[in-house]
Amino acid sequence: METKVLVCNCNGTVELAGAFDAGEAAASGLAVGQATALCRREMGRFLDAAAGTDDVLVTCTQESALFREVAAARGSVAPIRFVNIREQAGWGREGASAGPKIAALVAMAATPSDEAVPSVQYRSGGRLLIVGDAGAALEWAEQLHGTLSVSVLVTGRAWQQLPAQRQFPVISGDAVEIRGWLGAFRVGWQQGNPIDLDACVRCGACVDACPEGAIGPSLQVDADRCRGHRACVKACGAIGAIDFARTDTARDAEFDLILDLRRAPAFDFDDPPQGYFHCGPDPAEQLQAVLALSTMVGEFEKPKFFDYDARICAHGRNGKTGCTACIDVCSTRAISSLGDRIEVEPHLCMGCGGCTSVCPSGAIRYAYPSAPALGARLRAGLAAFRKRGGQHPSLLFHDGEAGTALVESLARGATDTFAAHGTAGAGSAVRGPASRGPAERRPAAPGLPAGLIPVAVHHPASVGLDLALAAIAWGAASVTVLFTPETSEHYTEALTRQFETGRRLLSALGFDGERLRVLRTGDRLELTEALHGHARIGLESVRQAATFALPGEKRRAIDFALAHLSEQAEAAGRELPTEIPLAAGAPFGSLLIRQDACTLCLACVGACPESALLDGSERPQLRFIERNCVQCGLCETTCPEDAITLQPRYLFDRQASAARVLNEAEPFHCISCGKAFGTRQMIDSMTARLATHSMFGGNAMRRLQMCADCRVVDMVSATDEATIFDYSGREG
């Protein structure tokens, strides 16, 4: 099955020369056809391509809805995909030189991805709780009660008249706690009002009876005014809606959706659960939330964005806590500790991938798409760029919504805006239709640099050090990750730390310059200056691109990338370093052992989740494989002698993959049978500590110097010691 690629030059505004070669395209399984007005007078070409079962790739996203609608009307079953070569390549100052980039964009979009990602299910019946001041809460409840199953939780001291008709439940309380997600929210609150608004018939007798006027039109009792006459209780009579013993009673209930009108949100983190809308007192934000709520009834699903392998998780062992990187970076609080492992609640996970990029061992992996699938796209794109004569390409990762809109806006800017910043020449004014050529008909905006390939991902935080280093090995001159202000700053900070480690490693191999960088901006001009300024630096890529497929194991992926980059550095005549010191917190390193303190108890071996620490099998040794160490610190916190210190570094020496001895000791031989067991240092330390203990005199001290078998034999054969059997049969 081939992929039919329909490339449109958008009425001559996109230069396609140098983008495709018929032979190369056919060899890659692509049948390329070029058009000028594919979405209008050449629509028939699209319909012909979509009539079969082959994949169809259209290089226009502006009219994607039209193409899908027309294909559906004709009953087409062909898979249809889209890629934007106009704003991302052809439009801009360097559009005439963007042929290799167009080839790269098409190659990446045409790379198949047949991965099946498990889904997470949500079910919402439309049970909405509106929380907040009585005024706005009741007004919105009256608007929504015909569409959703509405309940109102009034907080604070309300003085708002309750609706004349009981169309929805109204309750009151404070100290509100909200947990859960779309379709499964659990709300708890403290009942502060003695009047049960659900049982109340709203006759107003209590209001009239209260001598202090402590009961307002909202039928809440003002505790500061109330003097305890309880005339209201008597007036309520048989209805029984007023009970002062009810105050400060904990209540809870379940809801599908939450509209929170309070000033402070219920969740103090960046990305609250789906189905929860906090808009405060702003009417405009309230309206936006209400419009969204009306669409959230029914059954929904989303991808399960992650895979987790607890076997190599460095979070904890034996009650000791090691790595908490994923818990610290998660902006949805979807990750929690279960002691020796973590738990990820898939309903709360929004798929940012921050946990996967900071995980030092690769125990939690991104699955939407997986690293190997995304790696295959990047390799195909970078290879296509080189085949079409492009040199030293760079990658720009961004999210598929706000990031895409920002990146593509660089090609749509107004002439005067960019001219004011020196990015458009005096000859860029638009002339009449008869006199303008293709270059002049494009918007007079800078667009993207011709050598910069944009890559849309679900969330930029999912781009980790493994993918970035692999991209450099595959031929990218640099990797930039763009965060917009809508994303949490935690992700920017976490990826910046990773890229600092990556830059140190690259620089040690002679690949200097800002090859790995993080941008955070929502401003078009700022982004333009950052991208074009970086392109002018002229970073060069490796002479020979790597061909390895990105493995699913994070550590192996980094090793593959650095191994290839080391080979390229050697080929260029650069001297390779043996080791590079890294900052604390880096996921690579060694251990320093105080041999005078270490007794070779090997507690650290049992604590290590990555098999970086090993015993000596037949000899009392502590061995270490540096390539496996993730610097989680579990060995350091577990060691009873405080003999271990972490040493962050990267060892380029091939010995990093081999086990080396950190400490060894003279074995201690059993004083009874002569068999070696334990170490002399450990036995001497133990006997010295217990020498003055009352329970370790005589034979007990001797048994500490025996192997396990001889110790049992000695205890059974001893005739001069009291045992429990000496007391059997005695009374009292």
Question: What is the arithmetic mean of pLDDT over 10-24?
Answer: 90
Q: What is the reported pTM?
A: 0.86
Tens of pLDDT along 307-344?
Answer: 999 999 999 999 999 999 999 999 999 999 999 999 99
pLDDT of 152 above 70: yes
Task: Spell out the residues 6+ positions from residue 478 whose beta carbon is closer than 8 angstroms to its own.
Answer: 394, 395, 472, 513, 514, 515, 516, 517, 534, 539
Tens of pLDDT along 625-636?
Answer: 999 999 999 999
Check residue 675 and give its pLDDT: 86
- DSSP letter assigned to residue 664: E
Tokens of 480: 């930039």
Lowest mean pLDDT among 215-224, 233-242, 376-385, 419-428: 419-428
Lowest mean pLDDT among 143-147, 454-458, 544-548: 143-147
Check residue 436 and give its pLDDT: 42
Question: What is the arithmetic mean of pLDDT over 32-49?
Answer: 94
All structural domains of the chain, each given as residue ranges with its CATH number in brackets, are 3-82 (no CATH), 122-299 (3.50.50), 304-366 (3.30.70.20), 371-419+445-564 (no CATH), 589-664 (3.30.70.3270), 667-727 (no CATH)
Indicate the SS3 state at residue 446: coil
pLDDT bucket at 422, cuts 50 / 70 / 90:
very low
> Regarding predicted confidence, which is higher, 688 or 549?
549
Check residue 635 and give its pLDDT: 97
Q: Report the range out of 127-141, 237-251, 379-393, 651-665 with the highest average pLDDT.
A: 379-393
Return the percentage of the chain with pLDDT > 90, whole number.
70
Question: What is the arithmetic mean of pLDDT over 559-566?
Answer: 96
Check residue 443 and give its pLDDT: 47
Question: What is the arithmetic mean of pLDDT over 354-373?
Answer: 95
Q: Does residue 383 contact residue 107 with C-beta atoms inside 8 Å?
A: yes
Tokens of 440: 């002049």
Rounded Cα–Cα distance for residues 701 and 159 (Å): 80
Rounded Cα–Cα distance for residues 602 and 599 (Å): 8
Tens of pLDDT along 452-509?
Answer: 999 999 999 999 999 999 999 999 999 999 999 999 999 999 999 999 999 999 999 9
pLDDT of 444 above 80: no
Lowest mean pLDDT among 55-69, 201-215, 542-556: 201-215
Check residue 445 and give its pLDDT: 83
Check residue 420 and give its pLDDT: 36
Helix/strand/coil percentages in the chain, nearest 5: 35, 20, 45
